[in-house]
Amino acid sequence: MSTLEADAMREITYCDALREALREEMLRDDRVFLLGEDVGKHWHGAFKVSRGLAEEFGEERVRDTPISESAIVGAAIGAAITGMRPIAEIMFGDLSTLAMDQIANQAAKIRYMFGGQTAVPMVVRMPFGAGASVAAHHSQSLEAWFMHVPGLLVAVPSTPYDAKGLLKTAIRNDNPVMFFEHKLLYGMKGSVPEDEYLVPFGEADVKRSGKDVTIVATLFMVHKALAAAEALAKDGVSVEVIDPRTLTPLDTETIVNSVKKTGRVVIVTEGCRTAGVGAEVAAILAEEAIDYLDAPIKRVAEPDTPIPFSPVLENFVIPDEKKIIKAVKDVL
C-alpha cells in the first residue's frame, strides 16, 4: 500500500461503516429510505446503526414502523416496485421468520413472475448470530435458508471494509438483498477508505494466504479462523483463509482454486451443521474439486440444537479456535 493510500484509510467500527454506507447512499439517491422498528431519532435502531440519520434526513426517510416484521417487509416491497429503494431493518434477524411469505414468496419472485417488467430493489438488514446470551429466539444464523430461495441475494460481510462496500452495492442492486450483520461485529474496528468504493457481489476475499489447508469461513467465524491460522502457523502449518463475502452469488472459482492448491479444506460457519452453508460448499467441492482433495472435507458448525441461554452452554455449541484447529489437524 502506498503512503497516499495509507493516509486515506482510517480505523472505524463495523457499525460506523454501515452508517456511512447508509448516509452516503441517502445523499446520493433521494429514493433511498430506511424503515424498521425504532430506527428513528428516539432509539436509532437496536444496535445504533442509524444514529443521526433521522435528524439529518427527516422522518419521511427514516421511518419508525409498528412491531410487525411482515408489515415492514411488505411495505418495503410495495415501495420498491413503485420506484423507491427501501432499506428495511429487522431488529433481530431471527424475526425474519415472521416475514417469510413476504420475503420468499413475494420479494424473491416478483421480478420473475412479471417477466422482468418490474424489479424489487430493496435491502433487508438483519443482526444475526450467537455469543451475546440472548437465547434461542435471538441468536440463530439462518443465512442458509435464504440461499435456498431463487431471486434473493445474500451478503455476509465480516469486516468494516466489506460491510460498507457490500451495503452500498446492495442498495444499488435491482434485486432483493438479504444483508446479514453478526451482532458481535458491530464494535469491531477495521481499515476503511475515506474515498468512495464498492465491494462487488460474487467475489470472495482471501483474508490470509497459505499452502497446506484451505479454511472457508463466514461472518464472525472469519476472525476465529484467522486466529486459528495464526496459532497453526507456529506449528509450521500454512493455512489459507477465504471469506466468500456473499453467499448468493457465491464465488466458487476462488474456493475451488484454493482447494486445488492446498488439497485440504475445512469449512467454518456458525449455523446448524445439517443443510447449512458448509454443506453447500462441501457439495460444490465434491463436484468440482474431488480429484484434488487429499483428505475428506471437514465442516465445523453448531450442532443441530437451539442456541442455549446459558453462557457456558452457548460457548460450548459455538465453533471456536480449538475446534477449528482440531479440524485442520484432522485433515492433515
138 part of the active site:
yes
From the list 138, 148, 182, 223, the catalytic residue is 138
At position 173, the amino acid (one-letter code) is N
- Give which of 318, 319, 317, 254 is closest to 281, Cα–Cα: 254
Give Cα separations from 329 to 231, 315, 324, 325 (angstroms).
Answer: 12, 22, 9, 6
Question: Position of cell 476475499?
Answer: 205
Question: 3-class secondary structure for 52-98?
Answer: CHHHHHCCCCEEECCCCHHHHHHHHHHHHHCCCEEEEECCCHHHHHH
Which residues lie closer than 8 Å to 5 by C-beta, 6 or more apart?
A: none
Q: Grid coordinates representing 322?
A: 480449538
Q: Is the dihedral of CA 248, 163, 7, 52 positive or negative?
A: positive
- Give which of 138, 119, 128, 137 is closest to 177, Cα–Cα: 119
* Sheet of strand 123-128, all strands in order from the earlier edge strand to the far edge: 62-64, 32-36, 85-89, 123-128, 177-182, 153-155, 246-248
Active centre residues (catalytic):
138
